[in-house]
Amino acid sequence: MELTGFRDRLAMVTGAAGGIGQAIVAALLDAGASVLATDLPEALAAPDCRDGDRVIWRPLDVASAPPDALIAEAEARFGPLMLGAHAAGALSTLPLLDAPAEEWEFVMGTNARGVFNVTAAMGRAMRAHGRGGAITVVSSNAAGIPRMNMGIYAASKAAATMLTRCLGLELAGHGIRCNIVAPGSTLTGMQTGMWADDQGAARVIAGDGPSFRTGIPLGKLATPQDIAASVMYLLSEQAGHVTMADIYVDGGATLRG
């Protein structure tokens, strides 16, 4: 089945220079969409972050301010915003008793306030043009299961997940769908940055009893393309009756759907 609903439509992607964000941008462009791709200024120095006929790259700190002006700029060039994928995020692996308040502020600012800033701006743009739309937020399976030394991260992702579901309820009457993809361990820089050696993937797949972490039943890590595929489904016309859903894409690691 070919997913539809992308050709000649404007999509916005945050965290677009990261592994999952890059995969989402590539999938959207392949499907015929135009893309407003955003990330932190330093991330946009990468060679792949260059404007093209159907993509513009713009700096955005999602925690700082809503991106209404960037959306307006993209709409002036490509037409009304119809699709949104929020993939920007920050990780914390500090124990709660040892974490400084600054760690809480930074991670919650990126993962919770950032979702509010971005999805609310997307929703305002879609409501204004009155043609409906779809927004998908990349959260985490940590939003639904306690994790050792990841309390701040898990709390921030739980906030992001519930905020997205509540936004979906508010926007449903405008024909705008809001959904969540909750990845587990995925082959990105955020994941590999936690590994001490070349056995990191094997340890994640096997799980760890002392840290109360289950392994991955499918026996493999996700790729950024795996996550992008789920995002694309939720943005597509084939998911036209799906809203406020929370899809776990973690190979069964959290033993839930």
DSSP class per residue in 186-210? BSSHHHHTT-SSTTHHHHHHH-BGG
d(CA 256, CA 141): 9
* pLDDT of 153 strictly over 80: yes
Contacts of 160 (CB under 8 A, 6+ apart): 111, 112, 115, 137, 139, 143, 180
Structure tokens at 215: 């392994």
Question: Which tens digit of pLDDT belongs to each residue from 157-197?
Answer: 999 999 999 999 999 999 999 999 999 887 666 665 554 56
**Choice among 6, 57, 78, 153 that is catalytic:** 153
Q: How crowded is residue 12: how many other Cβ atoms within 10 Å of its Cβ?
A: 29
Question: What mean pLDDT, rounded, does the chain reach?
Answer: 93
Q: Is 248 a known active-site residue?
A: no
Domains of the chain and CATH, by start: 10-184+222-247 (3.40.50.720)
Residue 36 is predicted with a pLDDT of 98
pTM here is 0.94
d(CA 191, CA 174): 37
* pLDDT of 205 strictly over 80: no
**Which segment of 6-10, 118-122, 132-136, 210-214 scores lowest on mean pLDDT?**
210-214
